[in-house]
Amino acid sequence: MPPGATKYNGHFVNIDIQIDYIEYSATHYKHESSSANGLILHPSIMDKVQWYDIRGLHDENVINSISKRFDMHPLAVEDAVDVHQRPSFTEYDKGQHISLKVLHFDKATAKVSREAVSIYFGTGFVISFQEREQDTLQPLKSRIEGSKGRIRSKNADYLAYTIVDFVVDNYFQVMDFFEEEIETLELTISENSDNFDKTRIYELKKELLKVRKSISPLREAINLFSRSESDFVEERTVAYIRDVYDHTIQIMDNVDSMRDILSGLQDLYISEISLRMNKIMQFLTIVTAVFVPLSFLTGLYGMNFDVIPELKYQNGYFVLWVFMILLVVGMLLYFKKKKWL
């Protein structure tokens, strides 16, 4: 693929493209939905925020017309449709681009799937690009419509911040799922049950690495965002962005300590297996040590030598029984002392 290709490279190529247009100020709210064909690009409006939310990225016409309308840098367009792009923040002359990953945790398989979401914003407008049909950002839209929070009285940079904050909040939920999974693992190991699936630790570690690969660059991206000195980010928004930045650090901390905890669980599991082995071997050893000498004795008096004096004694058989019982008792006391019993 030549650099500069503006072709969507993800899996969602057959979905119906849906475009939401939301226009708001403290006192005003307008919402339009359209398909790819019906896309209308409005001119900028003073003191209003314009938000284009595009769901479905496979139609080059849509991408091209929107990128032309907002004069996006070719690289910003590329990043918007490149779903393998790692989270990043890039400043261009006419706007700023933020690539994000929304994480979904499937509880059944304990797998994390990643959805690419990116936003491009400048003075008075935000464009969000989602690759799936279902609207991850729906709660945000309701909040704007319902005028909850302080968002309606702020500008486009605050909307961009809100989207980023929304995505980061989603990470906390994913972390909670991991925490639950780890608690389940702890229980299963300590209950010693054979239901324990040894690959689970490995898989959770792998999924955590996926989360780490999303959150680590996201942290850097938000840091850059908070330090942006362009006109697109107002001074008063910076404190909020620093706040999200702190959240990403907290998530990083969580991911790292969960990885440590999983390593600890792996060690615990290995100890567990080894301990069980010891117990199996102790049992085997006790059984063997108790019966092998007895078998020797019975073999001894099963021999056919012409002369074996003991065999002639009237009470030989009963004396042997007493001797064998004493032997067994002695053995068991020995194992008791060795703490094998």
Q: Which of residues 69-98 bind a copy of itself (CB under 8 A)?
A: 73-75, 78, 86, 88, 90, 92
The nearer residue to a copy of itself, 41 or 172, going by C-beta atoms, is 172
**Binding segment for a copy of itself among 9-17, 56-64, 106-114, 307-315 (CB under 8 A)?**
307-315
CB 57 within 8 A of CB 131: yes
The nearer residue to a copy of itself, 133 or 256, going by C-beta atoms, is 256
CB 112 within 8 A of CB 102: no
Torsion 70-74-80-85 (CA) sign:
negative
**Binding segment for a copy of itself among 12-20, 22-30, 102-110, 271-279 (CB under 8 A)?**
271-279
Residue of the chain from 65, 266, 327, 332 that contacts a copy of itself (CB under 8 A):
266
- Residue numbers 96-115 binding a copy of itself by CB under 8 A: none
Neighbours of 315 (CB within 10 A): 9
CB 16 within 8 A of CB 56: yes
Output the smallest distance, CB 15 to a copy of itself, in A.
Answer: 25
Residue of the chain from 123, 272, 327, 332 that contacts a copy of itself (CB under 8 A):
272
**Binding segment for a copy of itself among 40-48, 59-67, 130-138, 286-294 (CB under 8 A)?**
286-294
Output the smallest distance, CB 135 to a copy of itself, in A.
Answer: 17
Distance CA(294)–CA(203), nearest Å, equals 50
**261 touches a copy of itself by CB under 8 A:** yes
* Of the candidates 141, 63, 81, the residue with the CA atom closest to the CA atom of residue 117: 81
Residue of the chain from 36, 45, 249, 327 that contacts a copy of itself (CB under 8 A):
249
The nearer residue to a copy of itself, 17 or 159, going by C-beta atoms, is 159
CB 19 within 8 A of CB 34: yes
Q: How far is CA 237 from the centre of its chain?
A: 29
Residue of the chain from 35, 71, 285, 330 that contacts a copy of itself (CB under 8 A):
285
Contacts of 67 (CB under 8 A, 6+ apart): 6, 76, 77, 80
Residue of the chain from 67, 96, 162, 226 that contacts a copy of itself (CB under 8 A):
162
**136 touches a copy of itself by CB under 8 A:** no
Torsion 200-202-204-206 (CA) sign:
negative
CB 76 within 8 A of CB 100: no
Q: How far is CA 318 from the centre of its chain?
A: 70
Distance CA(134)–CA(141), nearest Å, equals 13
Site string for a copy of itself, 166-205 (x = CB under 8 A): ---x--------------------x---x---xx-xx--x
Q: Which H or E run contains 29?
A: strand 29-35
Output the smallest distance, CB 156 to a copy of itself, in A.
Answer: 16
Distance CA(26)–CA(24), nearest Å, equals 7
Output the smallest distance, CB 16 to a copy of itself, in A.
Answer: 30
**212 touches a copy of itself by CB under 8 A:** yes
